[in-house]
Amino acid sequence: MPDKLIIWDFDGVLADSEHLWVENWTDTLQKLYNFRLTPAQQKQYLEGKADKTKIELLARDFPQLKPEEKFWQILHQNENRLIAAELQLTENVEKILDDKTFAQCVATGATLEKHNKKTEKLGLNKYFTPNNTFTAYMVANGKPAPDIFLYAAEKMGFLPQDCLIIEDSLAGIKAAKAAGIPVIAYIGATGHNTAEYAEACRAAGAFAVSSKMTDVHQLIKKHFGISCTK
């Protein structure tokens, strides 16, 4: 029985998908409400956050913005199209998922319905079942609050010090730090593989940064003290 646990974020880590959802929100808000978010605001309000958190943050700072049923219909229609046509699995991530020297689970900001569509499309449902899948809708607060990571660790039967998180967003890295769980920043996704973003990840609390899953695999083993020959 493994005595260490990997907690995966999904979008931007297991799949190069975070930019798809940010663009979808940005475009839908602009088309329906003529509401424009700058690139900096997209990172602030949208990136790495659950839909419920996005709405909470936008409502706090832009009370005039009140998305209605039509917004959600269009948003979800676009999501389904993007999942079918553009969702891609991160290269070499399955080599880590196949590693049985540590336990693994996923902690995602997506709804369970959306998560299941993504895992089915990518063939990841063989790795992630209801027993090791946790969403922001199972806890009170989404990232950057630590709730989802602490919940995942507890449900999987691990203490925070025996866990390691793989994240791509600053909100997720801050959530990991707040949970007291070490975090590796994966920056191989679209728009993240820059020196500036790598530095921002370190400043947010990541102890290591990598743009390649082969390197992430070695960092995991080194952190857990697992021989690279295993």
Q: What is the pLDDT of residues 43-65, one digit of tens each?
A: 999 999 999 999 999 999 999 99
Q: Can you give the pLDDT at residue 169?
A: 95
From CA 62, how far away is CA 57, in angstroms rounded? Answer: 8
pLDDT confidence band for 228 (50 / 70 / 90): low
pLDDT at 229 over 80: no
pLDDT confidence band for 230 (50 / 70 / 90): very low
pTM above 0.85, yes or no: yes
From CA 176, how far away is CA 165, in angstroms rounded? Answer: 7
| Exposed e or buried b per residue across 146-161, where buried means at least 16 C-beta atoms within 10 angstroms of its C-beta | bbbbbbbbeebebebe
CB 142 within 8 A of CB 50: yes
From CA 157, how far away is CA 164, in angstroms rounded? Answer: 14
From CA 184, how far away is CA 29, in angstroms rounded? Answer: 32
Q: Give the CA radius of gyration of the chain.
A: 17
pLDDT per position as a tens digit, 199-210: 999 999 999 999
pLDDT per position as a tens digit, 79-99: 999 999 999 999 999 999 999
Angle at 49 between CA 44 and CA 53, to 5 degrees: 90
Residues in the chain: 230
Residue 221 CB coordination number (10 Å): 18
User: Average pLDDT, stretch 2-12?
Assistant: 97
